[in-house]
Amino acid sequence: MEVNSSPNAVRALIQQARREGAIAGVVPTMGALHAGHASLIEAARKDCDYVVSTIFVNPTQFGPNEDIDRYPRTLDDDLQKCEAAGADLVFTPDTSQMYLPDAESDVRVTGLTQKLEGERRPGHFDGVTTVVAKLFNITVPDKAYFGQKDYQQQLVIRRMVMDLDWGIEIVTCPIIREADGLAMSSRNRYLSAEDRQRSLVLHRSLMLAEQLAAAGIRTAEIAARMSRLIEAEDGVELDYAVVVDRSTLVPAADDAETGVALLAAKLGKTRLIDNQELRFR
């Protein structure tokens, strides 16, 4: 496995591989890798001849109240995980290699980014789409892999790729959970032992949503029951629990066949998100 922090060198390596006929897959990450990230690299390994993982803690997607310095940095461990999962190349730029100090351009998806996470974290998705656009331009992939855990993010990236005619196939991989149901996230390491225990209510509320959907309960009632369950847990501050259309994120119609339950909640200083796709009876 090669590790390289130079955008030009990385572009040249991948272009060379593609010239030789390789299908190239990219897995963008911010490091602090866990089994969820490994599953993305493994999925890329199955589909592609040349697998690139990127590790870059992107400053432009952090809001003024979000502490980028607190974001975990575990490069040695990350590189081991990339290698074990089958990456051929890891791109590890620093901020000065990714952003010109006088940059004047960004990439923005409107509409989808105004709801839910975008509403609560103004500018967040502009940072994500801009850095992912840059990573796509540097890594020139055929396919790119994202986790379903960041449900809205993968929709926003799909929209961007479609609108800008990139021709990159976006692959969304299933959420990887701990044995007790907590969705894997780089942020889980911040949870105190008590909050770790309390966090299980999030997965319980998604399982409840699944059962209620299968029992034919209406979408607004499902969201209300999820909210009540989470709010009843001491120390868990619910931000939102909604049942929405899987592509547009508008509230799911009562006669919809499918939808997705999305939630966000704070435990101590740690904000967690999770989701579950639903099939209505």
Which residues are near ligand PAF by CB under 6 A?
28-30, 58, 61, 128, 131-132, 150, 153
Q: Please state the closest distance from residue 24 (CB atom) to ligand PAF, in A.
A: 17
Nearer to ligand PAF, 29 or 219 (CB): 29
Distance CA 79, CA 128 (A): 22
Query: Torsions phi, psi of 56, nearest 5?
Result: -155, 120
Q: Is 124 a catalytic residue?
A: no
Residue pair 84/38 in contact by the 8 Å Cβ criterion? yes
Nearer to ligand PAF, 31 or 259 (CB): 31
CB closer to ligand PAF out of 61 and 188: 61
Q: What are phi and psi of 113, to 5 degrees?
A: -85, -5
Nearer to ligand PAF by C-beta: 31 or 243? 31
For residue 173, what are its two tokens?
């991989």
Q: How far is the CB of 192 from ligand PAF (least distance, A)?
A: 23
Indicate the residue among 120 and 228 with the shorter CB distance to ligand PAF.
120
Can you tell me the distance from the alpha carbon of 63 to that of 45, in angstroms, rounded to the nearest whole number? Answer: 33
Catalytic one of 34, 37, 124, 203: 37
Give bridge partners of residue 276 from the DSSP assignment: 261
Min dist CB 178 to ligand PAF, Å, is 19
* Shortest Cβ 173–ligand PAF spacing (Å): 12
CB of 157 to ligand PAF, least distance (A): 7
By the 8 A CB rule, do 226 and 244 touch?
no
187 versus 196: smaller Cβ distance to ligand PAF:
187
Closest approach, Cβ 211 to ligand PAF, in A, equals 29
Annotated catalytic residues are 37
